[in-house]
Amino acid sequence: MTRTVYVNGEYLPETEAKVSIFDRGFLMADAVYEVTSVLDGKLIDFEGHAVRLKRSLDELDMAEPCTKEELLDIHRKLVELNGIDEGLVYLQVSRGSDGDRDFVFPSADTPPTLVLFTQNKPGLADNPAAKKGAKIISIEDIRWGRRDIKTVQLLYPSIGKMMAKKAGCDDAWLVEDGFVTEGTSNNAYFVKAGKIVTRPLSNNILHGITRKAVMRLAKEAQMEVEERLFTIDEAKAADEAFTTSASAFVMPVVEIDGVALGDGTPGPIARRLREIYIDEARKTAI
């Protein structure tokens, strides 16, 4: 089926959608993005994604392409036009194009490029991968220092996933100065003696929208949560581990660098948090 996508004010078949070859997103990775999940045809935590998008744009001195209300309308229209029950809405804003290539930013009145498209993912909630759990490798974190800004500079995370794949695993956790930062496209946690441990927020990690919701839900469920730096060796010695992201919710981790966690199957806290999160997401979706 040909998708209907959104480009700068127009809804078009994906085969007809066009962006300039001079677009700074294309030439310089001068663009930010958001991914919002859809369950039961409704958007999960749209507000959180809209607020983070605004923050990413502000941090890069990039213009807002439209209002939050307009963004919500575009999301909803794409979900409807493409008949998405479970899936994702990808949004990207770039600094646009002034018709040439230059390191200097184009003039402030250059319109940003706004692109959105849907990805149909039946079975997003009832994901078999979550029942199996993910196998992780650890690799060095060599990304730039502003990982709190959700830019499209995804080459290294992409290389990390390929390294994991080559090693027969599912994903990689990134390690900097001896401490785990996050996963290639998710936030990272381990559980020891009932306590959930994750790295505190800083410029070194993305401030996950799912992280925020899961931390709140864990506390509401009387689970103990500690935000502190942790090493890959601590995670390997954990009872269980998991990751969070908008596209995979809570994903149990069953192996790190070849070491099985607990009995090598998804742990009870990760399973419970996944259940609670999806339940709450369905209830609060718009």
What residues act catalytically?
150
Of the pair 12, 201, the CB lying nearest ligand PLP is at 201
User: Backbone phi, then psi, for 285, in 5-degree steps?
Assistant: -65, 150
Please report whether residue 209 would count as binding ligand PLP according to CB under 6 A.
Answer: yes
Give the one residue of 211, 236, 271, 274 binding ligand PLP; rule: CB under 6 A: 211
Give the one residue of 186, 189, 270, 277 binding ligand PLP; rule: CB under 6 A: 186
Please report whether residue 89 would count as binding ligand PLP according to CB under 6 A.
Answer: no
Q: Which amino acid is at 26?
A: F
Give the one residue of 39, 71, 235, 246 binding ligand PLP; rule: CB under 6 A: 246
Nearest to 34 by CA among 281, 251, 206: 206
Give the one residue of 210, 238, 241, 256 binding ligand PLP; rule: CB under 6 A: 210
Count the Cβ atoms, other than its own, within 10 Å of residue 215.
20
Q: How many residues bind ligand PLP (CB under 6 A)?
A: 12
Residue 20: which residues within 8 A CB-CB, separation 6 or more?
26, 97, 99, 113
Of the pair 96, 199, the CB lying nearest ligand PLP is at 199
**Shortest distance in whole angstroms from residue 156 CB to ligand PLP:** 10
Give the one residue of 141, 170, 182, 255 binding ligand PLP; rule: CB under 6 A: 182
Give the one residue of 185, 197, 218, 276 binding ligand PLP; rule: CB under 6 A: 185
**Shortest distance in whole angstroms from residue 8 CB to ligand PLP:** 24
**Shortest distance in whole angstroms from residue 269 CB to ligand PLP:** 18
Q: Which amino acid is at 126?
A: D
Please report whether residue 206 would count as binding ligand PLP according to CB under 6 A.
Answer: yes
**Shortest distance in whole angstroms from residue 95 CB to ligand PLP:** 20
Torsion-angle region of residue 75: left (phi > 0), alpha (psi -120 to 50) or beta? alpha
Of the pair 56, 97, the CB lying nearest ligand PLP is at 56
Helical residues (DSSP H) of the chain, grouped into ranges: 24-28, 46-59, 68-81, 128-132, 155-166, 209-220, 232-236, 268-284
Please report whether residue 149 would count as binding ligand PLP according to CB under 6 A.
Answer: no
Of the pair 81, 152, the CB lying nearest ligand PLP is at 152
Q: How far is CA 225 from CA 4, 9, 139, 211, in A?
A: 42, 43, 25, 12
Q: What is the spatial distance between Cα 115 and Cα 202, in angstroms, rounded to a whole number?
A: 28
Please report whether residue 250 would count as binding ligand PLP according to CB under 6 A.
Answer: no
Give the one residue of 87, 133, 208, 266 binding ligand PLP; rule: CB under 6 A: 208
Q: What is the spatial distance between Cα 31 and Cα 60, in angstroms, rounded to a whole number?
A: 9
**Shortest distance in whole angstroms from residue 46 CB to ligand PLP:** 12
Q: What share of the chain is helix, strand, coil (3-state, %, to 5)?
A: 30, 30, 40
Tokens, residue 120: 């149909």
Site residues, ligand PLP (CB under 6 A): 182, 185-187, 206, 208-211, 244-246
